[in-house]
Amino acid sequence: MAEKRRVKLSEQTADRLYERIVDEHRYAPGSKLPNENELSGDLGVSRTTLREAISFLVAQGVLEIRRGKGTFVAEKLPARGMDLASLEGLRSRVRAKDLFEMRLIFEPATVALACQRATDEELRQIRRRAERMERVAAEDGDWPAMDQEFHWAIIKASHNEYMRRLYPIINSAVNEILQISANRQHMKEMAVGDNRLIREFLLRRD
């Protein structure tokens, strides 16, 4: 329970810091944040909570850590859209189901764009990663990681920056469903079959 409260507080802190940067303009793009002691005291949280909040904003491209210099606001802030912190903070079967449905909407459009925009080398990368995923799955290795690499190759081949940013969030649905699934073997067989079909149509640019 204490861990859940701590995680929630770090997300709230990330939101508050994000608002100071984007809404209140307290810290301009490219500027350095106050030191850890000062900022944690100002926000009324521990340094551990502040570090977690900063890590989240770094992952979202809002902040940058420059070794030996400190934490800086990114020169170019990502476009504001959904509340990513609230999405990342939820952990439930409902979230997994909703995100899986979103992936079913999201992925066909991504594949369609990759059909149109992928370079020949990107298609070769997609084929190699699909084949590697099948080999690892046959050996009962870490096929989910290989599956993610395959889908990430398709995302990159779509040449759409928003899809690149959304992918880590949507992909988390797969990880959560694997955690609650009673039949990982069935999930593996579905993934291998789906990936093989996607690969075949992509290589034909169909």
Give the CATH number for residue 150.
Answer: 1.20.120.530
Judgement on whether residues 192 and 135 belong to the same structural domain of the protein: yes
Average pLDDT over residues 184-197: 84
Domain finish residue from 38, 73, 108: 73
In the predicted structure, residue 60 carries a pLDDT above the cut 60: yes
More confident residue, 184 or 126: 126
Judgement on whether residues 94 and 194 belong to the same structural domain of the protein: yes
- Considering 12-21, 26-35, 164-173, the range whose residues carry the highest mean pLDDT is 26-35
Judgement on whether residues 130 and 183 belong to the same structural domain of the protein: yes
Three-point CA angle 49, 52, 55, nearest 5°: 150
Judgement on whether residues 96 and 69 belong to the same structural domain of the protein: no
Q: 161-187: string of b/e by CB count within 10 Å (b at 16+)?
A: eebebbbebbbbbbebbeeeeeeeeeb
Judgement on whether residues 43 and 116 belong to the same structural domain of the protein: no
- Domain of residue 37, residue span: 2-73
Judgement on whether residues 53 and 94 belong to the same structural domain of the protein: no
Q: Answer whether residue 80 is part of any domain.
A: no
Kindly tell me the burial class for residue 12, based on how many C-beta atoms sit within 10 Å of its own C-beta (0-12, 13-18, 19 or more): middle
Could you tell me the two tokens for 24? 């209140």
How many angstroms separate the CA atoms of 110 and 121, rounded?
18
Domain finish residue from 73, 104, 124: 73
Q: Answer whether residue 84 is part of any domain.
A: no
Q: Answer whether residue 79 is part of any domain.
A: no
Judgement on whether residues 98 and 188 belong to the same structural domain of the protein: yes
Q: Answer whether residue 85 is part of any domain.
A: no
Number of domains making up the chain: 2
CB atoms within 10 A of CB 157: 23
Judgement on whether residues 69 and 129 belong to the same structural domain of the protein: no
Judgement on whether residues 117 and 162 belong to the same structural domain of the protein: yes
Average pLDDT over residues 94-112: 74
Q: Answer whether residue 81 is part of any domain.
A: no
Q: What are phi and psi of 72, to 5 degrees?
A: -125, 150
Whether pTM > 0.85 for this model: the answer is no
Judgement on whether residues 63 and 97 belong to the same structural domain of the protein: no
Could you tell me the two tokens for 74? 């990114």
Judgement on whether residues 131 and 195 belong to the same structural domain of the protein: yes
pLDDT digit string, tens, across residues 17-59: 988 888 788 899 999 999 999 999 999 999 998 998 888 888 7
End-to-end distance of the chain based on CA atoms, in angstroms? 50
Kindly tell me the burial class for residue 114, based on how many C-beta atoms sit within 10 Å of its own C-beta (0-12, 13-18, 19 or more): buried
Domain finish residue from 23, 48, 73: 73
Judgement on whether residues 29 and 109 belong to the same structural domain of the protein: no
